Amino acid sequence: MLQLDAEALYTELRHGVQGLLRPETVLVGIWSGGAWLAERLQKDLGRPGAHGVISSTLHRDDFQARGLAAGTGPTQLPFAIEGSHILLLDDVLYTGRTLRAVVNELFDFGRPASVTLAVLVDRGGREMPVSAAFSAAKIVLPASQRLSLRRSDDGAFSFRVDVRPDDAPARPA
């Protein structure tokens, strides 16, 4: 069974994104794991202002199959997107479909000057032509497994690997 130390990878991410940041960069986390990362990085890096949270729900290409996911939070961008330099954060990069949906959502709010992606884990398996400027780890998992970030009540990160039953349809991350 795969064992990843999410806290150690968070430390790598924190160090890695420092080279991607400009003073005017704003942090935007993809709901939910990326939002947790953005929240913690905002605090740990002493960034002024607030971080943003963005949802992919309304722009997914599989919306009819998935519908509104329970527990999905709304997009909250407490700053102007137009002309902003955005550091987009996510926990796991897989097919790229969530990222495509998020960029569409982001452009509904304005045209940023730049969007840079940083992730905890890049698991390969891309279906879209996207890549992260920084990833704390690169791994390979079978398509039947889903990797997701968890956050405990005290804020500590961990990973969970779920195995999809053979008869369940594949679900893009």
Find the CATH number of the domain harbouring 118. Answer: 3.40.50.2020
Residue 107 lies in a domain: yes
Residue 1 lies in a domain: no
**Is pLDDT of 157 > 50?**
yes
Q: Which residues contact 100 (CB under 8 A, 6 or more apart)?
A: 59, 61, 128, 130
Residue with tokens 């996207």: 130
What value does the mean pLDDT of the chain take? 90
Work out how many domains the chain is built from and give that number: 1
Task: State the pLDDT at residue 15.
Answer: 98
pLDDT in tens, 129-149: 999 999 999 999 999 999 999
Task: State the pLDDT at residue 73.
Answer: 75
Residue 110 main-chain phi, psi, to 5 deg: 145, 180
Residue 28 lies in a domain: yes
Distance CA 37, CA 102 (A): 16
Residue 27 belongs to domain spanning: 6-163
Residue 101 lies in a domain: yes
Task: State the pLDDT at residue 57.
Answer: 81
Residue 169 lies in a domain: no
| C-beta atoms surrounding 72 within 10 Å | 13
Residue 170 lies in a domain: no
pLDDT in tens, 48-78: 999 999 998 877 565 444 455 544 678 999 9
Residue 78 main-chain phi, psi, to 5 deg: -80, 30
